[in-house]
Structure 1
Amino acid sequence: MSFLDHLEELRWHIIRSFASIIVFAVLAFVFKSFVFDVVILGPSRPDFFTNQFLCNLSATFNMPVLCINQVQLKFQNINMSGQFTMHIWIAFVAGAIVSFPYIFWEFWRFVKPALYENEVKHSRGAIFAASMLFSLGILFAYYLIAPLSVYFLGNYQVSESVENIINFGSYVSTISSIVLASGVMFELPVFIYFLSKVGLVTASFLKKYRRHAIVVVLALAAIITPPDVISQIMVCLPLIVLYEAGIIIAKRVEKKKKREMES
């Protein structure tokens, strides 16, 4: 295929991916009560699963500090079109999250013709692995990081004279950015797999720069979480584990390449 033919093929993959986002975005727009009342506002509610679990845990071990988000936060909208704009934005975000497996599959269909038969064989589980890791990142952030972030940022006060009445747009952007960033970062082993397949990284390279990677992980955790130690540690630990898993994956890729060259 010529370069223009490749661009034409890529264009149709992008169009189909965008169409899937639109379909699920329309569904999310229609079912706004579930999306906002149950999903978006969930981490701020006392009856949210994580909040209830931590409060039950605090009662069992007599540790009141664990009981979080038991007072419902107050939200306000200060822009005329604020709620409508947020409704559209969240619909597209929800559409992108739900469509992720299909989008990755379209990307895989575009790349697949350029791979050798043995590479296709060894990469068949890539779509499933990427979808699972993305989903795990989303769930991890939604059920663990988001409630802690809401509790810390929503209740932090510089003075008792200042009452926290949260701008709804600020709340939604905080929750969505934390969840999406976590989902993307959990794709680390998949990124390492493809980089090792094309020879850009090796297991020895990843081991050599492990300390540097930990510093980067700490910086990313500080960006996507509130400035409290517990949330940052909760983000750092799984990312470090995923980095170590990436080293194992890179080793396996190198061994397969070596066996193929010897045969």
Structure 2
Amino acid sequence: MPESPEVQELASFLTAHTTGRTVGSFDVLLPKALKTSQPSPGDLVGRRIARVSRVGKMIDVATLDAAGAPLHVIVHFGHDGWVLWHDLVPEDLKRAGDATLMARVRLDDGSGLDLTDAGQWKMLTIHLVADPSDVPAVAKLGLDPMSEEFDADRFRAIVGNRKKQIKALLQDQTALAGIGNAYSDEILHAARISPLTHAARLSPREVAGLADATRAVLMEATAARVGVAPSELRAAKHAALHVHRKTGAACPVCGDEIREFTSSGAAAQYCPTCQTGGTVLA
């Protein structure tokens, strides 16, 4: 699943490659991906792209018409969605490879991008709205750990006394925006906290350490992705992970074997020494 560090670099890439360009066409190939009926995809044609920004794990392609009226394309990638960039967009509407072509944007200079989804359920979604807050998933977003608004006090207010496992809370987009399965594992490993721990049981010191780890892990990953091409971002992410998807490997801190457990159908990887004091999670 794309998470904030990779989506941030994707947004930076698209800003550099699309700002000032005019939309020549916008084709939605899988109708279920489009979650709004009005405005229509045709209403994007002739609009100038003003910027592309990250909103949680989503991107916001902001466009303007000749009068300066805004129209935003909000893309949520789901689990397996992503962007394929073309310096020169193919004439046919076919996607090479295994991913399904969900939509294509062609720009006035012949470049453009494909929105693709390689998953079974095709969870990528597109909203066309005048205001990003008109998208429910955007309106409900919690505090973004990479924003200027993030600090220890606000983090403490979100985490304190929550009767929810801390891994699940870190991934709750209405609490903290931009964190998914992989970085929640990485953050908890850095903070030396078991993913099964309930937030309400964390000590003030643990909450403070978790706040620092949350910010540090995401900011370091974001800095490491700068300049990485969109097609390489997923591989770069997985290559840099310490515990996520590393079951059976040695912990880079203590050397113990990385373990895995499943809770509520979701898998998590952790180090039994660093995160549980040697107690194996049930």
- Whether the TM-score (by the shorter chain) exceeds 0.5 is no
Category of TM-score, reference length = shorter chain: under 0.3
TM-score of the pair, normalised by structure 1? 0.27
TM-score of the pair, normalised by structure 2? 0.26
Higher relative contact order (CA 8 A, sep 6+): 1
State which structure, 1 or 2, has the greater radius of gyration over its C-alpha atoms: 1
Q: Give 1 or 2: higher helix fraction.
A: 1
